[in-house]
Structure 1
C-alpha cells in the first residue's frame, strides 16, 4: 500500500477548494484486491468512479490487475468508450427504453433483470452480449426467483436464433459487510441455484459474478469467475477487515480570520458559542460543495499541522474553524480530508462524524470544487 504525504500548498495556488486524486492509491488497492480474488476483477467505476473520476480510476485499475469495467447506466459506459477505453464494459441498471442500440454498437455488455428488458434489447439491439441478473436477496434490481426460470428459457430461445448471447449471470449479496450474516449463505445458495437453472435451460454463461468489495475481501466462496470491486478501488472496505489506501484529498484556503470575544455566537442558529476569546478562520467550502450541514461538534480539519474543530453550522458556501491563538493568515490552506498520513481527517472520519457511509462522503463533492490528480498542476493543492 502506498502512502501520500500532504504538503502545504503555495498561497498563490489557494484559489478555492481543491479535490486531488492519487492514482497510486487506486493502483495499490487494485493490486491488493486482484490478489485476493480467485478469478478476474471487474473495476466498478459508477458514480464517476465514486467521485474520483471514472476515467482516471478505470485506466489505473486496468493497468494494475482489473480485466473489465462495470457501471450502472449506458451513459456511463459510453463515456468510457468516448475516453478511448476498450476493455469489456458491463452496464447493469437501465430503464427499458434506454439506448441499448448505442451501447451494443460500442461493444458494451448489458445486464438483463427481467423479460421486459430482454425483449427491449432484442427489439432495439439484436446481437447484444448480456448478463442475466438474479435477485439474490435484496428485493431491488434483478429477476425475482419465481421469474428466473422463464427468463432463462426466453434468453435461450433468443440465443438459438442468434439475437442475443448470454455471456454472464450476476447477483449481489445483501449483507457482505457483515461476513457472518446468514443472508450471505442464502445469497450464495440462491446464486448457485440460478446458475444451475440457467445451465438447465441450455445457457452456458462463461462469466459469473456475485461478490463486491466486502465479499472479495472476506468470502472466497462467493468469488466465482469474477468479482466486482468499486468502493475498494478508492479506499473503502465496507467489511472493516482490510486497510486500503484512501485516494482522495480535499483542501480549502483560509479566506479571512477574525478574533472574537468569549460568548460570541457563530453561524446560523447560533449552535456554537465561543467559550473563550479565540480566533476563527473562514473556509470557502460548504454544503453546496458536499460537506454535511449539521455539525455535531466532532468535525475537524488540519491546519498548521494540527486538527482544528469546525464550529457552528456549515453554510452553503462557508465553514468556520476555531484555531485558538494560532496566528493563522488568509491564504493558508486547510486539509479537510485525505489519506490520514499527515494527521488530516480521512473520509472514514467524516463518515463517522455524521453517521453516513464513506461512499456518501466521497461521491458528494460538487462541481464547484476544482479537481486534479497527483502529478498535475494541482499537486500542491494536496
Structure 2
C-alpha cells in the first residue's frame, strides 16, 4: 500500500482512495509563464510553502525547476531540506524566522537564510566561520506587517552590521505587504515608500544593490512599481486570486480539482435526522449518497449546512454535520450509483465549485482551504 505522506507522487493507476486531488501541471506551467511575462525583466520566485498551497511540494518544485524559475521560496527549514533530498538544485529561500541552532543545517544543505535581526546576522556569521563556509542571506525589513524583520526606521544599523559580517553574502533584501490585495492601496504604497527609502542606503554608500523583492500575488496584480528585481507569486501561481476584489491583470486558472466517489446510496425517510447532532431532517423521503471525505481531509466542519458538491454535472447540498471521514449528500429524487464521481472543487460540465466558494461557506479565505487539504488525500498529477 502506498504511503501518501512519504510518497505523495503517484499515478492514477495507483489510486486506492476515492478521495484525491488532480493537479493540472499544464495549468501551473501556464500560470507561471503568464506571471513571468507580465513582470519581466524581474525574476520570479514561486512560493511553495505549506505543501505548495496543497498542490504537493515535491512535484511542484520539480516543475518549477523544469520551467527555469529563478528561485524557490518556502516557509520552514524542513521544506527546504526535503527539496534538497529529492534532488532540487536551484536556489531556495527559507522565508520564515530561524533559531540559531538551525543555522548549520542551512549551510549543510545550501539553503538561503532569512536574516531578520542583528543577533541572527551575528549567529549566522559565527556559524559560517566555524564551518569554514559562506552563508547566503536575504535581509528582512519590516515595513508595516509587524511579524519578523528589522523595522524600516532601524534598518540602517542592521545594514551596516551586515557589511561587517565576513562570512555572509548578502544576496537579497526583502519585505512583505500587509494589504496588497485590497482595493485601497494606501498602506501598500506607504510600505513600498518605506522600503525604497531603506534601499537608498546602498546608493549612499556606493554599494551594489542585492536582489530586491517585495511583491506577493496582490502586488504583482495591482502594484507594478513594487516588482523591483524579483517577485514572489503565491496563491495566484495555483490559479486562485488573493481576494475577490483584486484587479485581475493576469489571467490564471485553477490547477487543482478535488474529487471523490459515491460509496453508498440510500433512501432517508421523512423525520429521520442525518449525522452527528441530528441537525438536519426532511419532511419527505429523500434519496442520498455518502461520500468518503470529511474534516479529517480538510473538508471543513464549519461548512456544515452550506456546502454543495457536483454529481453528474449538477449541484447538490451536503446535509447534516460534516464528520471526520464522510459527508451525506441530498439528491432528492435523482439517481446515483456507487462509483459515480463527485466534485468537491472543480468543474463538471457547465457547473463548477471553487476554492473561493468553500472559503465563503467555511467563513475563511481560499488560502486556508487549499493549505488545509490533508496529506492523506493523494495528489495525482496530470498533463
TM normalised by structure 2 equals: 0.89
Offset at 1:265? 1.5
Deviations along 1:270-311, whole A, 9 cap, x unmatched?
Answer: 222224321111111111110110335331111122111111
Question: 1:281·1:323 contact (CA, 8 Å) conserved in 2?
Answer: yes
1:237 is aligned to 241
For the pair 1:269 / 2:272, whether they are aligned, the reply is: no
Q: Specify which of 135, 141, 163 is matched with residue 148 of structure 2.
A: 141
1:1-382 matched pairs, under 5 angstroms: 15-38=17-40, 39-64=42-67, 66-126=69-129, 127-158=134-165, 162-200=166-204, 203-239=207-243, 240-242=246-248, 243-295=251-303, 297-338=305-346, 343-374=351-382
Q: Identify the range of structure 1 (309-318 vs 97-106) with the bigger mean alpha-carbon deviation.
A: 97-106
Q: How many residues align?
A: 363
2:5 is aligned to none
**SS of alignment partner, residue 302 of structure 2:** coil
Q: Identify the range of structure 1 (344-353 vs 95-104) with the bigger mean alpha-carbon deviation.
A: 95-104
Task: State the alpha-carbon separation in 2 of the partners of residues 212 and 352 from structure 1.
Answer: 23
Question: 1:149·1:198 contact (CA, 8 Å) conserved in 2?
Answer: no
Task: State the alpha-carbon separation in 2 of the partners of residues 248 and 100 from structure 1.
Answer: 35
Structure 2 unpaired stretches of 5+: 1-11
Q: Identify the range of structure 1 (316-325 vs 344-353) with the bigger mean alpha-carbon deviation.
A: 344-353
Question: 1:208·1:224 contact (CA, 8 Å) conserved in 2?
Answer: yes
**SS of alignment partner, residue 29 of structure 1:** helix
Question: 1:26·1:235 contact (CA, 8 Å) conserved in 2?
Answer: yes
Task: State the alpha-carbon separation in 1 of the partners of residues 14 and 71 from structure 2.
Answer: 41
Question: 2:65·2:88 contact (CA, 8 Å) conserved in 1?
Answer: no
Deviations along 1:138-177, whole A, 9 cap, x unmatched?
Answer: 111111234312211110111xxx3111111100111000
Question: 1:246·1:339 contact (CA, 8 Å) conserved in 2?
Answer: no
Question: 1:270·1:312 contact (CA, 8 Å) conserved in 2?
Answer: yes
**SS of alignment partner, residue 280 of structure 1:** strand
Question: 2:289·2:329 contact (CA, 8 Å) conserved in 1?
Answer: yes
Deviations along 1:84-120, whole A, 9 cap, x unmatched?
Answer: 1211111121322342223223322111110121112
Q: Identify the range of structure 1 (228-237 vs 289-298) with the bigger mean alpha-carbon deviation.
A: 289-298
Following TM superposition, where does structure 1 have runs of at least 4 consecutive aligned residues deviating by more than 6 angstroms?
10-14
TM normalised by structure 1 equals: 0.89
2:7 is aligned to none
Distance of aligned partners of 1:340 and 1:210 in 2 relative to their CA distance in 1, 3 Å threshold? farther
Offset at 1:344? 3.2
Question: 1:265·1:273 contact (CA, 8 Å) conserved in 2?
Answer: yes
1:379 is aligned to none
Deviations along 1:218-264, whole A, 9 cap, x unmatched?
Answer: 11111100001121111121143324211111112222111022232
Task: State the alpha-carbon separation in 1 of the partners of residues 357 and 128 from structure 2.
Answer: 46
Structure 1 unpaired stretches of 5+: 1-9, 376-382
Task: State the alpha-carbon separation in 1 of the partners of residues 203 and 14 from structure 2.
Answer: 63
Distance of aligned partners of 1:13 and 1:100 in 2 relative to their CA distance in 1, 3 Å threshold? closer
